[in-house]
Amino acid sequence: MTHNLQIVDYGLGHPGSVHDAYAFQATWLAREHELVLPAEHWVWADSAYPLEPWCLSPFKRPKGGSLSRQQSIYNRYLSKVCVRVEHAFAALKGRFQSLQELHLQIQSKQDLYVAIYWVECCLILHNMIVHFEKGK
């Protein structure tokens, strides 16, 4: 079941539509990865994220070329992880339908803070539900 994944890091505060890689730079993980990740651990990410020793993204097919068998297998496994993450986001939005489309007019910093706090409250509640469901 994919709805049992806790959300451990997130970046909020970019009103409107921004690229995933830009939003990622605002996360605690991106800024403090050496403090957050234990030694020998890494993050699997989709192609929008930077390729770093601690952040592994899919191999890209070279122009006019193809991926090796090992690269294709790696990409397939990584894709399965990314799908689970997308399902966790869908579960979050299913639990808190206000997140489907947050109908708040953001005309000031205060309005932006209200939106951020709203989303953070939903994330916290989601993680609490996941935590207590695991204890059953």
DSSP state of 60: P
Taking every pair of Cα atoms in the chain, the longest distance, rounded to a whole number of angstroms, is: 53
Boundaries of domain holding 34? 2-134
H helix intervals, 1-136: 20-24, 28-36, 69-95, 109-134
Q: Is the pLDDT of residue 132 over 60?
A: yes
Number of domains forming the structure of the chain:
1
Each residue's pLDDT tens digit, 75-100: 999 888 888 888 888 888 899 998 88
Q: CA–CA separation, 127 vs 136, rounded Å?
A: 15
